[in-house]
């Protein structure tokens, strides 16, 4: 598997990252035995990057992940996250100094390791000063519990504020962003991706298959397969029935049929090869799903195919891009 640098850092990660959100999830995930097989086959395929979070299955995902990689810990780049509630107390969540320092010890214990390669804040905490969060993360790095830090689910201004503040304070900065990104969710192309390229921030997007929408298993007017995330719909609302998403999914399925691939492989290959993307995070609850996703590594989308995907999924041009485009046209006249 191709190895890539994580942003400006010297850390090398595989082109695909295995997401462990399914591990131990009783609604739409897999049991520990299957989880271990998935991890083993991913590592055998050349992958070295695994992402989990303390909030996944209330910590069970971290426990399973830790046991699955125990014999190969040094060769695995292990990422986890902090933010979700891990108890009923007022300080058992968020990004306060207290919670981060408590949470990192909890993650280390569940993972069965003495360090975390990449520790990410799972969201932006409006109730905690950014400098408090950054100083706590810096302490995690200085004490050797964490090697690199990153963030997830941030607006561009929130990420840039944190980067600038880290520079001002002379402390560890975010070197990685984990946003949602797929053919049906391309909003980060407007400001976040350009920012990450400019600042040398690695991008490891989650949901490159849009929660299963781009796998070809979600069909208009039909009930989703039992035991899938779409069947449970943790996102709520019309996440799996939105017309635009279904239109894009149908075109992905058509393209897959035309080129002799699966929809999952097409969607994941597209995501992994977009500008600024380091390593898309994919999940699997069966060995078959794992192999389907790994097949994307053997797939090269030609110009015509990429143009079809672009035509089907392009996002509208919004302000100020439309005005700046007008100025460029004027200046070229």
**pLDDT tier at 177 (50, 70, 90 boundaries)?**
very high
Average pLDDT over residues 178-204: 98
Share of the chain above pLDDT 70, in %: 100
Sign of the C-alpha dihedral, residues 265, 271, 275, 278?
negative
Average pLDDT over residues 193-219: 95
pLDDT at 293 over 70: yes
Q: Which residues are catalytic?
A: 56
pLDDT at 192 over 80: yes
What would the pLDDT profile of 20-53 be if each residue is shown by its tens digit?
999 999 988 999 999 999 999 999 999 999 999 9
Q: Mean pLDDT for the chain?
A: 95
Can you spell out the DSSP letters for 262-281?
Answer: -HHHHHHHHHHTSTT----E
What SS3 class is residue 18? strand
- What is the model's pLDDT at position 225? 76
Average pLDDT over residues 194-201: 98
- What is the model's pLDDT at position 306? 97
Average pLDDT over residues 267-292: 98
Q: Show me where the domains of the chain are located.
A: 3-332
Q: What angle do CA 12, 16, 20 make, to 5 degrees?
A: 105
Share of the chain above pLDDT 90, in %: 87
Q: Quick check: bond before 15 cis, omega within 30? A: no
pLDDT at 228 over 90: no
> Can you give the length of the chain in residues?
333
Q: Say if residues 109 and 80 touch (Cβ distance below 8 Å).
A: no
CATH (residue range 3-332): 3.20.20.100
Can you spell out the DSSP letters for 23-47?
Answer: BT-TTTSB-HHHHHHHHHHHHHTT-
CA atoms within 13 A on the CB side of 300: 2
Q: Which residues pair with 203 in a beta bridge?
A: 177
Inter-CA distances, 235 with 4, 81, 122, 302, Å: 31, 19, 16, 33
**pLDDT tier at 171 (50, 70, 90 boundaries)?**
very high
pLDDT at 333 over 70: no
Higher pLDDT, 36 or 326: 36
Average pLDDT over residues 163-176: 98
- What is the model's pLDDT at position 313? 97
Q: Point out the least confidently predicted range of 24-28, 133-137, 154-158, 199-203.
A: 24-28
pTM (2 decimals)? Answer: 0.94
- Helix-, strand-, coil-residue percentages of the chain, each rounded to 5: 45, 15, 40
Higher pLDDT, 332 or 106: 106
Inter-CA distances, 14 with 43, 198, 201, 219, Å: 10, 22, 16, 32
**pLDDT tier at 230 (50, 70, 90 boundaries)?**
confident
């Amino acid at each position: 598997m191709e190895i890539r640098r994580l942003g400006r850092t010297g850390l090398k990660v595989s082109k695909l990252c295995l997401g462990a959100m399914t591990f131990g999830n009783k609604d739409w995930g897999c049991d520990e035995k299957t989880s271990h097989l998935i991890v083993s086959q991913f590592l055998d395929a050349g992958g070295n990057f695994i992402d989990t979070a303390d909030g996944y299955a209330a910590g069970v995902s971290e426990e399973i992940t830790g046991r699955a990689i125990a014999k190969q810990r040094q060769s695995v780049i292990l990422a986890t996250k902090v933010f979700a509630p891990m108890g009923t107390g007022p300080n058992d969540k968020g990004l306060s100094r207290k919670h981060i320092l408590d949470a990192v010890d909890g993650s280390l214990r569940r993972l069965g390791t003495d360090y975390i390669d990449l520790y990410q804040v799972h969201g932006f905490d409006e109730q905690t000063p950014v400098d408090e969060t950054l100083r706590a993360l810096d302490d995690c790095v200085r004490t050797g519990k964490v090697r690199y830090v990153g963030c997830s689910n941030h607006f561009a201004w929130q990420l840039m504020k944190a980067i600038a503040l880290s520079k001002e304070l002379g402390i560890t900065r975010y070197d990685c962003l984990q946003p949602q990104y797929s053919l049906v969710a391309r909003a980060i192309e407007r400001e976040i991706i350009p920012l990450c390229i400019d600042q040398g921030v690695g991008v490891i997007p989650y949901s490159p298959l849009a929660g299963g929408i781009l796998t070809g298993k979600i069909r208009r007017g039909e009930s989703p397969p039992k035991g899938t995330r779409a069947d449970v719909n943790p996102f709520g609302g019309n996440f799996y029935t939105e017309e635009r998403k279904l239109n894009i999914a149908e075109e992905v399925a058509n393209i897959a049929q035309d080129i002799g691939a699966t929809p999952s492989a097409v969607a994941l290959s597209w995501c992994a090869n977009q500008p600024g993307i380091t390593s898309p995070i994919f999940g699997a609850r069966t060995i078959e799903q794992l192999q389907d996703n790994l097949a994307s590594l053997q797939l090269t989308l030609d110009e015509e195919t990429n143009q079809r995907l672009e035509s089907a999924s392009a996002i509208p041009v919004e302000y100020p891009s439309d005005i700046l485009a007008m100025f460029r046209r004027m200046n070229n006249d």
